[in-house]
Amino acid sequence: MTHPLRFGIGTGNRKPVPELIRTWQMIENLGWDTAWVVDHFMASDNEDTPYYEAWTLIAALGMVTSRIRFGIMVSGNTYRNPGLLAKQALTIDHASNGRVELGIGAGWMEREHVAYSYPFPSVKERVDMYEEALQILRLLMSERRTDFNGTYYQFVDAPFEPKPLQKPHIPIVAGAFGKRTISIAGRHADIWNTRAEPEKAREQVGWLRSAAEKAGRNPDDIRCSVYTWTPPFEHETQLREVVQPYRELGFTDFIFPMPPEDQFDTLEKVSREVIPPLRRAG
């Protein structure tokens, strides 16, 4: 499968809602493909920073845009039962006319779990829960009724209506960085996202493809996505320089942090002059 290139921006959850609305509308008007928030209840660098809940936030932001696809990069599995998560995504899928993507990760921020009274299992348990959740999400969105008897989740003849507008289901975006979680993405995800630099990402792509093949899947059916740490808008050629080594590894989805206002002129120029030729070149 040949996937078209997609370019997105992560805006975070900290700015006042009116400012986030303006930002998402600007991203859409500049022709970007995707917009993203993250799934935290508090900032890791300053706990007193204002911070909005992710799923309710994208529901609101989705309603003030009309074209751009969007989601959470990524939803912490430990914060929501997969049945609830599937219903949240399904509701936004219908409200946005099929534009949401369902990002999910195993969960990692121990301080946040302690602060908000969420259990914080061991790494192994969190990853086991993550794999069960990915299977349940697919079942709920595709089967008339779901039965699942796992170690952590038990679903008994669970109905799930209506079904998503997107077919065969809402795309599942798996955030994964270690060999085991990437292998899980290879077995169950539609899109895999990493934050690794190209040298490490090369090894990760190998893990993904190997796991997909062992599961009887075509690895080329899985989109490879990267969320870079630094916004590449200091000069007009920077974004192309960042994208190129990932393109050589087969990545098609690129997400960048929202740049500061003093780089908005470059952001606009890159949006108009750099990204369209990259899309056309594939």
Encode pLDDT of 146-188 as tens digits. 999 999 999 999 999 999 999 999 999 999 999 999 999 999 9
End-to-end CA distance of the chain: 13
pLDDT band at 2 (very low <50, low <70, confident <90, very high): confident
The percent of residues above 70 in pLDDT, for the chain, comes to 100
HEC string of the chain equals CCCCCEEEEECCCCCCHHHHHHHHHHHHHCCCCEEEECCCCCCCCCCCCCCCCHHHHHHHHHCCCCCCEEEECCEEHHHCCHHHHHHHHHHHHHHCCCCEEEEEECCCCHHHHHHCCCCCCCHHHHHHHHHHHHHHHHHHHHCCEEEEECCCCEEEEEECCCCCCCCCCCCEEEECCCHHHHHHHHHHCCEEEECCCHHHHHHHHHHHHHHHHHCCCCHHHCEEEEECCCCCCCCCCHHHHHHHHHHHCCCCEEEEECCCHHHHHHHHHHHHHCHHHHHHHC
What is the pLDDT, as a whole number, of residue 247? 96
Q: 3-class SS at 70?
A: strand
Q: Residue 81 CB: number of other CB atoms within 10 A? A: 14
Question: Does the pLDDT at position 1 exceed 70?
Answer: no
Helix orientation angle between 54-62 and 82-95, rounded to the nearest 10 degrees:
10
Quote the DSSP letter at residue 235.
Answer: S
Query: For 44-64, what is the mean pLDDT?
Result: 96
Which numeric CATH code is attached to 6-281? 3.20.20.30
Domain map (residue ranges) of the chain:
6-281
Total-model pTM: 0.95
* Chain segment 62-119, per-residue pLDDT in tens: 999 999 999 999 999 999 999 999 999 999 999 999 999 999 999 999 999 999 999 9
Mean pLDDT of 114-141: 98
| Mean local confidence (pLDDT), 30-54 | 96
* Token digits of residue 202: 């090369």
pLDDT given at position 12? 93
pLDDT recorded at residue 282: 81
Token pair 């393109």: residue:
247
Pair of tokens at residue 229: 């740490």
pLDDT digits (tens, 9 = 90+) for 254-270: 999 999 999 999 999 99
d(CA 73, CA 258): 14
